[in-house]
Structure 1
């Protein structure tokens, strides 16, 4: 669990309050990692193993022992970085990690059915903890009145809270920040139906 029960309830209450005044459908999604990073783990382990092998070329060891050290170092590094992805992430460029997180965010937008609402007013607040990444994805109905640029300032503030591991605070601030705009642009309709769950989704 990335959020405790109390934190989840507070976020859900913020979403519920907003959706009693607006037809927008907001979904909060949080995940620890946006990728398995298996390929990156393999490449990283190979590169370090090659580096170790180059060093060993200057050591006075026989061929069999040289090969054994190569194999052992590769598998040790592979299993270590597989079990502790944080180690790997420290070596990956921020841009690369953000691209991976963004791809996963868009995938989840479809997988969770946020794209399938009748009103096309779905919004996803996506947080990837270890990549320190936040993205707000909106459906076409939202985009028709609120440009993607509007959300960037909210995202920038949200990321600060994520970096400080204050996830629930980030969600609540972001929801409150956009509430007035959403209520004004998409006021609640008489026949409004809540198509998406208000519960925080942990992946």
Structure 2
């Protein structure tokens, strides 16, 4: 099931077309459900707890023999591994730095996979959202970064992130596209009609 319905996707496409009609920049929007499945992290927590807890409980007095201790560790590992697969609980086990690191890596891969580094004049701009991580990033090619400082994008990202956290991802996308267009029109006004990259939302 799509995170954004077809009507909302059409609004995004129209917003991109409006901005690209007034600037030489090439905008691409990407929406990911999540940047990673993080299966290894619940297993890591289950392994760690299963290794330490039975031994700590059994330290003094020792009421389990070595065979029983090993069985209890295995049972606890299996139980915790299954419990930690619950999405709401799994998400709480993942450090914020890990979530953002994975989302940031995915954003950079998408910049390359969507060919934003091959545009004429190096004017590609990626607006990336990973919804599970509540992560937003704007990546621009050298033709844009030479004219517009990073601080401009950071302010837009902050506002967009708040919309994603509130569940207004589609509205946030449109507002973000329009906010990017304000400075893009001023610094990189359209000099010719072109459309090198798709205008539709890419959903991963």
Q: 2:154 aligns with which of 144, 152, 155?
A: 152
Contact in 2 for aligned 1:126/1:135 (Cα 8 Å):
yes
1:51-84: CA deviation from partner (whole Å, max 9, x where unpaired): 4323541674454443233223223333443x44
Look up the match of 1:197: 198
Whether 1:35 aligns to 2:41 is no
When normalised by structure 2's length, the TM-score is 0.88
When normalised by structure 1's length, the TM-score is 0.88
Distance change >3 Å, CA 79–CA 121, structure 1 → 2: farther
CA RMSD of aligned residues (A): 2.0
1:143-189: CA deviation from partner (whole Å, max 9, x where unpaired): 11111121000000011011111100111111111212111111122
Q: How does 1:124-143 map to 2 (within 5 A)?
A: 124-143=126-145
Partners of 1:23 and 1:79 lie apart in 2 by 51
Aligned residues: 201
Say which SS state the counterpart of residue 145 (structure 1) adopts: coil
Contact in 2 for aligned 1:125/1:137 (Cα 8 Å):
yes
1:114-155: CA deviation from partner (whole Å, max 9, x where unpaired): 222223111111111111111100011111111112100000
Deviation at residue 100 of structure 1 after TM alignment? 2.2
> Quick check: 145-154 or 38-47, which moved more?
38-47
Partners of 1:19 and 1:5 lie apart in 2 by 21
| Structure 2 alignment gaps of length 5 or more | none
Partners of 1:80 and 1:196 lie apart in 2 by 44
Q: How does 1:166-181 map to 2 (within 5 A)?
A: 166-181=168-183
Distance change >3 Å, CA 76–CA 16, structure 1 → 2: farther
| Structure 1 alignment gaps of length 5 or more | none
Contact in 1 for aligned 2:55/2:69 (Cα 8 Å):
no
